Amino acid sequence: MSTPVLTQFLNELLNGRLKMVDLTQTLSPEFPTIVLPPEFGQAWPFRIEEISRYDERGPAWYWNNFSMSEHTGTHFDAPAHWISGKDLPDNTVDSMPVENFIAAACVIDVSKEAAENADFLLTIDYVKAWEEKHGRIPERSWVLLRTDWSKRATPKEYLNMAEDGAHSPGPDAEVVPWLIRERNVHGFGTESVGTDAGQAHHLNPPYPCHYFMHGNNRYGLQCLTNLDQLPPQGALIFAAPLKIRNGSGSPLRVLALTPSA
């Protein structure tokens, strides 16, 4: 019987032994969106227009229209987002299995390294050292990279553009296939604007996290926040993208369930 489990879960949540952590950035027009070279089409940033607010446009109701891309704000990357995942089954947000919306999470804290080096790359050795301290990464688990990037106050600091492009941390080209092959992870999540590092176009292959994760039907989460409130192991992530037909990804609310400290 699974009912007692759910009852117990709800009790734990209500009595405070479990807490929910919102890993979602607020959708606002100022929140930076990934910037491609200007000759490419660009992902729309979040934009919002008031339809009415208890006024002559609608006396008793308040509502807005908004627009954005599938990859704006805190968002989910489906395998179809990358060419390596284009022919996989159930590779879009509307077709992926609903069970996959829930998974455990390992949080690898590289915030110190990222503060010292914006181009910090996560390596296999770093993950192995982390496992020695916090235990092996379980199968079907999200790997979330805590960089404290979400604490950067302005779009300028967050995107961190220089003349040679963006500088932000991410995984290197070896650790991503290793995480899939050796640990069978669910996907990879970051606080920065993409799952790959700012300079990942210079890696081989370019954008390895997108290339390998999506090429193996795994997922991506980016623009996460509050990762500093999660334990290295033991949190559960609820991340359900919008059901967009043939959608390559979607903004979403990412919730973590974690034991109270």
Partner 1 sequence: MTEPLLKPRKKNPVERTRLATRPPGARSRTALGLTRAAAEGRFELQVCADCGSVQYPPREVCGYCLSEHLAWKPVDNRGELIALSTLRHSNDLYFRERLPWRVGTVKMTAGPVVVAHIHEDCAAPEGTGVPVRLTLKLDRSGQAVLHALPAKDTPNMNDAAQMRESTCDPKFRRVLVTDGKSAMGLATARAMLDAGAATIFLGDPSSWKTVAAFDKLAADPRVQVVELDVTDTDSVDRVAASIGGKVEILVNTASHLRDGGILGRKDVILARDAMEVNVLGLMRLAQAFGPGMCFRAADGSNHAVAWVNVLSIHALAALPSRGAWSASMAAALSASQTLRAELRGAGVRVLNVFPGPIEEDWEQLTPPPKLAPAAVAKAIVKGLQDGIEDLYVGDIAEEIRERLRDNHKAVERELGQ
Q: Which of residues 78-137 bind partner 1 (CB under 8 A)?
A: none
The percent helix, strand, coil of the chain (3-state, each to 5) is 25, 30, 45
Sequence length of the chain is 261
With CB under 8 A as the contact rule, the residue among 45, 208, 247, 249 that binds partner 1 is 45
DSSP conformation class of 202: G
CA 139 vs CA 157, 186, 187, 224, 259: distances in Å: 35, 8, 11, 22, 20
Q: Total binding residues for partner 1 by CB under 8 A?
A: 20
Could you identify the residue written with the tokens 């947000």? 93
Minimal distance, residue 41 CB to partner 1, in Å: 5
With CB under 8 A as the contact rule, the residue among 21, 24, 25, 32 that binds partner 1 is 32
Minimal distance, residue 80 CB to partner 1, in Å: 18
Q: Which stretch binds partner 1 (CB under 8 A): 17-25, 151-159, 171-179, 218-226?
A: 151-159
- Which residues face 254 on adjacent strands? 239
b/e code 204-228 from CB counts within 10 Å (16+ = b) = eeebbbbbbbbbbbbbbbbbbbbbe
What's the token pair of residue 62? 């308040």
Shorter beta-carbon distance to partner 1: residue 45 or 169:
45
Largest CA distance in the chain: 63
What's the token pair of residue 195? 């799952």
Q: Which stretch binds partner 1 (CB under 8 A): 29-37, 109-117, 131-139, 225-233?
A: 29-37
Cα 256 to the chain's mean position, in Å?
A: 12
Q: Which of residues 160-179 bind partner 1 (CB under 8 A)?
A: 161-163
Q: Does 42 bind partner 1 (CB under 8 A)?
A: yes
From the list 71, 75, 81, 186, the catalytic residue is: 81
With CB under 8 A as the contact rule, the residue among 35, 102, 124, 244 that binds partner 1 is 35
Q: Per-residue string for binding with partner 1, 176-215, x by CB under 8 A? A: ----------------------------------------
Report the distance separating Cα 196 and Cα 81, nearest Å: 13
Residue 201 annotated among the catalytic residues of the structure: no
Residues 6+ apart with CB under 8 A from 218: 79, 180, 185, 186, 187, 188, 212
Shorter beta-carbon distance to partner 1: residue 172 or 191:
191
What's the token pair of residue 29? 């027009």
What's the token pair of residue 221? 């989460």
With CB under 8 A as the contact rule, the residue among 20, 36, 48, 83 that binds partner 1 is 48
**Residues assigned a catalytic role:** 81
Binding residues for partner 1 (CB under 8 A): 28-30, 32, 35, 39, 41-42, 45, 47-49, 154-156, 158-159, 161-163
